Amino acid sequence: MMMSDQQRRTEDESIRPPSSVFRPSSSVLRLPHKYAALLRRAMGLMLEYRASIVIWMLTGVLPLVMLAVWYALSESGPIGGYSQNDFVSYYLLLTLVRQLTNAWVIWELDYEIRHGDLSVKLLHPINPIHEYIAAHLADKVLRLWILAPLAILAWWLFPTIHYDITPLTLSLWLVAMVVAWLLRFLSQYCFGILAFWISQALTLNEMWYAGMLMLGGVVAPLDLFPAPVAAVANYLPFRFMLSFPVEILLGRLSTFDLLIGTLTMFGWLAFALVLYRWLWSRGIRQFSAFGA
């Protein structure tokens, strides 16, 4: 029996695999274009508030305060293997790391969830997290413009500071910087998502932040902590948010320590990503249930 053209087309379509099997979805292909638009908008917003950014940067000078403390204490001799010059090298680089891994997303996310403003972002054809990421990336561009001349000035004022800069350590440092920022951003995002259920998300984040300052190498290099505390701190996420990138360029880590540290760092990143996806999938249902 002869089949009509319509029947033949129907049969062909029934056996043809979906086109999505062979090519990426349009949303994935368009993501770079969406990010370009988000970054342009975020850069414009950041330029309007450039004075505020400078003020925010000035509030993050705790590493320089601790540098003054340890510099004075080590005047009579090295402390735990750290000379005055070592403390200068450590805390100047830590200041740079802290500035470039700064995150504030929890304050925006917590506010928008509690006031219902997140509804507007949910109407956009992109996950809201990408809008927050774009804003943070724009902030980092402006911070680099400000920090670059300050870094040159610091190098001129302290010509004796030294870092172990090789192709390997520099590559690991750049990777560690990206992961450090992602860990700080995602940890804040997860705390912000808790605003779907509780009203004290900011308080929990402040407790987390205090732990990061203490066990992330700001108050003192982790080498100077008592051995039992340092042994635990070396595997906590706080280290990989701040001090691990510094340790890489200081050249105080063996090849084994670098390997273990890198694996642990990526382990925490994987955990943070899974936790974010789990909290977000449940929190967004909670948000919709209240008709926000």
Structure confidence by residue, pLDDT tens digits, 93-139:
999 999 899 998 999 999 998 888 888 888 887 888 988 998 888 88
Q: Express each pLDDT in 228-264 by its tens digit.
A: 999 999 999 999 999 999 999 998 899 999 999 999 9
Judged against a pLDDT cut of 70, whether residue 24 lies above it is answered with no
Inter-residue contact 217 to 97 (CB < 8 Å): no
- CA nearest 263: which of 172, 189, 158, 181? 172
Q: Pick the residue with more confidence: 106 or 142?
A: 106
Length of the chain: 292
pLDDT of residue 237: 97
- Phi and psi at residue 79, in whole multiples of 5°? -120, 115
Instruction: Provide, rounded to the nearest whole percent, the portion of the chain with pLDDT above 70.
Output: 77
How far lies 202's CA from each of 47, 53, 104, 106, 192, in Å? 27, 21, 11, 7, 7
Tokens, residue 25: 């979805």
Domains of the chain, residue spans: 32-289
**With 60 as the cut, is the pLDDT of residue 13 above it?**
no
**At 104, is the secondary structure helix, strand, or coil?**
coil
Q: Identify the pLDDT of residue 17.
A: 39
Q: What is the pLDDT of residue 210?
A: 92
Query: What is the pLDDT, as a whole number, of residue 123?
Result: 84
Q: Which residue has the higher pLDDT, 50 or 191?
A: 191
179-194 CB burial, b ≥16 within 10 A, e <16: bbbbbbbbbbbbbbbb
Task: Provide the CA 222 distance to its chain's centre, in angstroms.
Answer: 21
